Amino acid sequence: MELGRANLEVFADTVLELACADRDVLVVTSDSRGSGKLTGYGETLPDQLVELGIAEQNVIGFSAGLASAGKKVFAASPACFLTARGLEQIKNDVAYSDQPVRIIGISAGVSYGALGATHHSLHDFAVLRAINNLTIIAPADNFETRETIRAIHNTPHPVYVRLGKAPQRHVHGADSSFTIGKAAVIQDGGDLTFIACGETVPVALAAAEQLALEGIDCRVLSMHTIKPLDEEAVLQAARETRAIITVEEHSVFGGLGEACASVLMQGGASLPFKIVGFPDEYMVTGSQKELFNHYGISPDGLAASARQLLAVEAR
């Protein structure tokens, strides 16, 4: 599969396309036009862009007010700040008040790399999953990003979308479909299932391709919707494959892995299972790729985890 563009760029182009056709679409940012790839949007539709400066709490509260007046608001800001400083406003002004704000967490996960832990968002799934009335989506590639933004254009309820800034490998074919809340089968297989989300999906697919050369047949699911989770896809993987590995650009606490573990345990499944993500430690500094490699979120690292898990299952 070829390398595509950054999902952030696809978001900016798609929201511009929607806004050109719908005057009610507004983008609210916190000094994020450049980092959010929204410079062109602002130049084309200056009356449909609101810049509030570095004030994430205001971004959310202001967006909720606009949404209550019928505007279709995309509130875009770095995920690390938006889901920490603006958490109370997300909880009360948006989710509790049921205002259909489309919260766009940009440069998420460890996209900011060497800027360090202050600029990483490895907590956002965990804190937002605990808030009622909030859909959480982490698109894997350009296709999923474009379809996500189009799907939430007329949403009547709050949504959080998590986007990174690195160019992404295309994992979907020309005949792919997209439905919020339903996992996408990127590749089918019967030995082991990788359940991944966001920018870890291409990594999981590369690991599956590597394992295929050894005769290990892997299923790869893009669990783009973290909440509501596609529970049936998780349980089906448990029934049809011998082991499951979840992969996420997030803490191992409170994210995709623990959500899947809950489904498996409550569903009565019994099979080898591993969560691959970022551990509870003071994080080393490096680029996104370097951090992925260090913590085993790489084709080689995931392939090694798969071999270990299948060896356990075979005993």
For the chain, the structural domain boundaries read: 3-169, 184-314
Predicted confidence at residue 282, as pLDDT, reads: 86
| Assigned token pair, 258 | 């623990």
What is the pLDDT at residue 34? Answer: 64
Encoding tokens for residue 122?
């490895």
CATH architecture of 3-169: 3-Layer(aba) Sandwich (3.40)
Of 146, 151, 220, residue with least CA distance to 181: 151
Residue 194 has pLDDT above 70, yes or no: yes
CATH 2.20.25.10 for domain 184-314, yes or no, is no
Q: How confident is the model at residue 256 (pLDDT cuts 50, 70, 90)?
A: very high
Residue 9 pLDDT class (50, 70, 90 cuts) = very high
287 Cβ contact partners less than 8 Å away, ≥ 6 residues apart: 113, 114
Q: Which residue has the tokens 């202001």?
A: 62
Going by pLDDT thresholds of 50, 70 and 90, the confidence category of residue 1 is low
- Report the pLDDT value the prediction gives residue 31, as an integer from 0 to 100: 81
Whether the Cβ atoms of residue 119 and residue 112 lie closer than 8 Å to each other: yes
pLDDT digits (tens, 9 = 90+) for 40-70: 999 999 999 999 999 999 999 999 999 999 9
pLDDT of the residue at 274: 98
Q: Which pLDDT value is given to residue 285?
A: 86
pTM of the model: 0.96
pLDDT for 207-252, tens place per residue? 999 999 999 999 999 999 999 999 999 999 999 999 999 999 999 9
Q: With beta carbons less than 8 A apart as the criterion, state whether 162 and 185 touch.
A: no
**What average pLDDT score do residues 128-152 get?**
98
Q: Return the pLDDT at 46.
A: 94
> Distance of alpha carbon 21 from its chain centroid, rounded?
27
Integer Cα distance of 91 and 88 in angstroms: 5
Instruction: Name which of 101, 87, 226, 86 is nearest 152 in CA terms.
Output: 101
Same fold, 3-169 and 184-314: yes
Q: What is the mean pLDDT of the chain?
A: 95
Mean pLDDT computed over 158-184: 95
pLDDT at 33 over 80: no
Are 220 and 202 a contacting pair, CB within 8 Å? Answer: no
List the single range of 11-20, 28-37, 162-171 with lowest mean pLDDT.
28-37
For 271: left if phi > 0, alpha if psi spans -120 to 50, otherwise beta; the answer is beta
64-108 per-position pLDDT tens digit = 999 999 999 999 999 999 999 999 999 999 999 999 999 999 999
